[in-house]
């Protein structure tokens, strides 16, 4: 069923391209009006003028209709018309034009002399030749040329025109030949349109697949480098960031104090919410794009501060501690009790290169000391930094 719908849609899309080609050629319909004027000039007489004017009006009508419908189609009027509806209109226009030229031409053959006969035959041939591009939609082309050649052949064969029988035979043969040529060339043009359409659809599908693949790659990168709970960087991204920032930098290892007790007392849902809020506090304490906050796992986090002096980095560490301690005030409905963190601090200067492994070991040792020194504090090496004084609190508040 899906394949059938796809084929129907493909056929409709090709028909739409055929209609585009026909309506783009609509201005050529003006030639039919010029041809009618030439016929009027050649056959004009007091006895024929009424019939010629009626015929000329009928010839002009489909030409004007073709041009007007091209303008309407360009403007999308009427709304809701699909390729099939436009194809019906096109066939009606071409049939009307072909019949008008066939009937009018046959009538002129019966009333004209040899010179006038030559004129109308040439005009009929010119009309068929000018509409040859319509072979892109063979049904329309045949509806135009078959009535002309058929009516001319009948008139030539039944009249007393010199060489009428031969001209009638030539008309029939030419009609058949043009129908065969139109069928062959039209099928090739239709195939070209179909291939063009399929190439366009393939390009669109490839673009869609490429966009989907790009989205999938971005999602994979996010999943690979991001902690799914907190949205912070994970350990892999942290190590990549540390390797990319081998110059002056500071490492903070942040551990939530007594988190196991919090988790056991209030459950994993509240415990996860606590982790998310602590992660947000860490993220808002650093400079976006220049520093990186990451989750090691469990209740342990890490922050890399790039290109800050040790004093500036310590102020950031105290800001982190203060922001976490403020969570109970800021999120009273989400935090069940006071939450604090212990922070191990390690620093690396430009003039004293220090491997990342050493920086990590120093921060780990400092964290151990912060825990043993009473928690809720920043510790550099084995030296805990006082965080309960007014100056530290003012610094933390000012930077927050």
As annotated, the active-site residues are: 299
In terms of Cβ atoms closer than 10 Å to its own Cβ (0-12, 13-18, 19+), residue 355 is: exposed
Cα R_g (the chain), whole angstroms: 43
With 0-12 / 13-18 / 19 or more C-beta atoms within 10 angstroms meaning exposed / middle / buried, residue 210 is: exposed
- Do the Cβ atoms of 243 and 356 come closer than 8 Å? yes
Q: Is the dihedral of CA 132, 138, 140, 142 positive or negative?
A: positive
Q: How far apart are CA 258 and CA 279, in angstroms?
A: 16
Nearest-5° angle of CA 301, CA 302, CA 307? 160
Three-state SS for the chain is: CHHHHHHHHHHHHHHHHHHHHHHHCHHHHHHHHHHHHHHHHHHCCCCCHHHHHHHHHHHHHHHHHHHHHHHHHHCCCCCCCCHHHHHHHHHHHHHHHHHHHHHHHHHHHHHCCHHHHHHHHHHHHHHHHHCHHHHHHHHHHHHHHHHHHHHHHHHHHHCCCCCHHHHHHHHHHHHHHHHHHHHHHHHHHHHHHHHHHHHHHHHHHHHHHHHHHHHHHHHHHHHHHECCCCCCECHHHHHHHHHHCCCCEEEEEEEECCHHHHHHHHCHHHHHHHHHHHHHHHHHCCCCCCCEEEEEECCEEEEEEECCCHHHHHHHHHHHHHHHHCHHHHCCCCCCCCCCEEEEEEEECCCCCCCHHHHHHHHHHHHHHHHHCCCCCEEECCEEECCCCHHHHHHHHHHC
């Amino acid at each position: 069923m899906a394949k059938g719908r796809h084929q129907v849609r493909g056929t409709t899309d090709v028909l739409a391209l055929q209609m585009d080609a026909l309506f783009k050629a609509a201005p050529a319909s003006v030639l039919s009006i010029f041809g009618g004027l030439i016929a009027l000039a050649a056959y004009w007489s007091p006895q024929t003028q009424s019939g010629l004017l009626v015929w000329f009006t009928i010839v002009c009508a489909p030409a004007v209709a073709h041009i007007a419908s091209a303008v309407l189609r360009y403007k999308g009027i009427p709304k809701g018309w699909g390729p099939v509806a436009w194809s019906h209109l096109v066939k009606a226009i071409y049939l009307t034009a072909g019949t008008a030229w066939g009937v009018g031409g046959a009538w002129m053959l019966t009333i004209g002399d040899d010179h006038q006969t030559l004129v109308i035959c040439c005009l009929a041939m010119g009309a068929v030749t000018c509409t040859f591009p319509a072979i892109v939609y063979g049904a329309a082309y045949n509806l135009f040329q078959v009535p002309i050649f058929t009516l001319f052949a009948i008139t030539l064969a039944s009249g007393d025109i010199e060489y009428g029988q031969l001209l009638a035979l030539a008309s029939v043969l030419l009609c058949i030949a043009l129908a065969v040529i139109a069928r062959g060339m039209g099928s090739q043009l239709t195939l070209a349109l179909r291939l063009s359409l399929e190439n366009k659809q393939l390009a669109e599908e490839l673009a869609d697949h490429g966009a989907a693949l790009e989205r999938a790659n971005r999602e994979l990168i996010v999943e690979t480098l991001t902690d799914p709970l907190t949205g912070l960087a994970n350990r892999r991204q942290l190590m990549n960031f540390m390797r990319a920032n081998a110059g002056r930098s500071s490492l903070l290892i942040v551990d939530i104090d007594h988190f196991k007790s919090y988790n056991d007392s209030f459950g994993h849902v509240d415990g996860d919410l606590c982790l998310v809020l602590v992660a947000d506090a860490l993220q808002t304490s650093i400079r976006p794009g220049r520093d990186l906050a990451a989750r090691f796992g469990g209740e342990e986090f890490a922050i890399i501060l790039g290109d800050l002096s040790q004093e500036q980095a310590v102020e950031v560490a105290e800001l982190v501690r203060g922001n976490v301690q403020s969570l109970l005030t800021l999120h009273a409905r989400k935090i069940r009790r006071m939450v604090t963190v212990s922070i191990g601090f390690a620093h690396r200067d430009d003039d004293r290169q220090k491997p990342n492994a050493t920086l990590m070991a120093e921060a780990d040792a400092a964290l151990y000391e912060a825990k043993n020194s009473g928690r809720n504090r920043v510790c550099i090496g084995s030296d805990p930094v006082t965080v309960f004084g007014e100056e530290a609190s003012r610094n933390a508040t000012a930077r927050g």
